[in-house]
Chain A
Amino acid sequence: MTEEQMIAAAPEGLAEELPPNPVEQFLRSERMPHIWCPGCGIGTTVNCFSRALLQSKLDLNKVAVVSGIGCTGRVAGYVNLDSFHTTHGRAIPFATGMKLANPDLTVVVYSGDGDLISIGGNHFIHAARRNVDVKVICINNFTYGMTGGQLAPTTPVTAISSTTPYGCYEQPFNLANLAESAGAVYVARWTTYHVRQLTHSIGEALRKKGFTFIEIVSQCPTLYERRNKIGDGLDMMEYFKEASVVKHGAATREVGIGFQGPIVVGKFVDIERPTFLDLMDKQMTRTLDAHYTGSVVEQNVRG
């Protein structure tokens, strides 16, 4: 909405009856309060996701959320959509099967860095390679939060984790670079501080055909921040604010994140490439001609 539209839509006077929080229709309110810690960034991303969904005007009955295991994986349980909390690392192949069986669905994968990139790494690169039309939202808090703050493939060098008590010494993945190299058609990174830009990015990703990847750098105050003595949730948000540099179109190989270092944010990749289904249909039609039938889902499911 433009500001003029917002003003025009605003209620007159000091109404007693305020409109509800836009996020509320997306929440399974009976399951509130959620399990995330005070100062955690995951809830913030859910606000952005819900506003992006609203603005997208997508049929909410046709949006499915698939998550893996971990704190971010719990998002599926809290959103009021068809939602699937699957096994550790395997949200992407589950989402692949779902989307290909019913292409009318918009399938969003909402999971964490450890789940999607460590145990899920193989599935991540193959789905990106194939350009499967799923929207991946990856919350990167540099750790495995749910299980107590262990090393993740994104943990910066020298950072302390519960399995690297003397400091991490492995080179982490640069997720944006990994996604681009594997073939993602849309790659963006924001932090939980950049709520408006993130909302906008999610909206773009929802509209975009193909494998889209949004990395959201987030805080984990209870584990990552506490172990590394860098403050609480708000301190980390202040760091995101100070350390972020917006560079749309940056070369992803240059956007790695060091410990408490600069964070390059923005939309890095936005290209066009035929999706897996497009390619399949095209090839099958070329070889099979009129004999090819694509659809898998039974139409008459109520007998």
Chain B
Amino acid sequence: MPEEPASEARVPHVQPVAKKVRGTIKVTHNRCKGCGFCIAFCPPKVLEFSEDYNSHGYHFPTLKNQDGCTGCDLCGLYCPDFAIYGVMQKYGKKQ
């Protein structure tokens, strides 16, 4: 490793473009029957019951925060009512 000139600060090597995987969910409110599987088994634990409820009286799931969801779709696999699923997304370029 060559010796860095002592007078220059170390400049971190940053990729001009970074792809980060993020995800989001889509919920069909009226299908939800409030079983709680998606919330319990979400790996990053980003789901919670909404304050709102559907026409059958069930509180449906909602994202606690947009950034935490990885779009793994485990919620979609678990949901017995086909009311929720996850989608993987990419954010664009980061300078």
Contact = CB atoms under 8 A, between A and B. Distances in A.
A-B complex is real: yes
25 contacts: A6-B88, A7-B19, A10-B88, A12-B92, A13-B90, A14-B91, A15-B89, A18-B24, A18-B87, A21-B85, A23-B82, A38-B58, A39-B36, A39-B37, A39-B80, A41-B80, A43-B80, A43-B82, A44-B77, A44-B79, A44-B80, A195-B74, A195-B77, A233-B80, A234-B37
B24 to A, nearest CB: 7
Contacts of A33: 30-31, 81
Contacts of A199: 77
Nearest to A45: B80
A127 B36 CA distance: 39
Interface string A1-42: 000001101111111001101111001000011101111111
A86 B90 CA distance: 46
Q: How large is the interface on A (under 10, 10 to 19, 20 to 34, 35 or more residues)?
A: 35 or more
The 5 closest A-B pairs by CB, nearest first: A43-B80, A38-B33, A10-B88, A195-B77, A21-B85
B interface: dominant SS: mixed
A206 interface: no
A233 B90 contact: no
Contacts of A42: 80
Q: How large is the interface on B (under 10, 10 to 19, 20 to 34, 35 or more residues)?
A: 20 to 34
Nearest to A44: B80
A232 B11 CA distance: 56
A34 B28 CA distance: 14
A159 interface: no
Given A40-B80, A47-B76, A196-B77, A10 B71 contact: yes
Given A38-B34, A39-B35, A19 B80 contact: no
Nearest to B82: A23
A9 B36 CA distance: 29
B35 A38 contact: yes
Contacts of B89: 10-15
B81 A237 contact: no
Nearest to A8: B90
A41 B23 CA distance: 25
Nearest to B66: A14
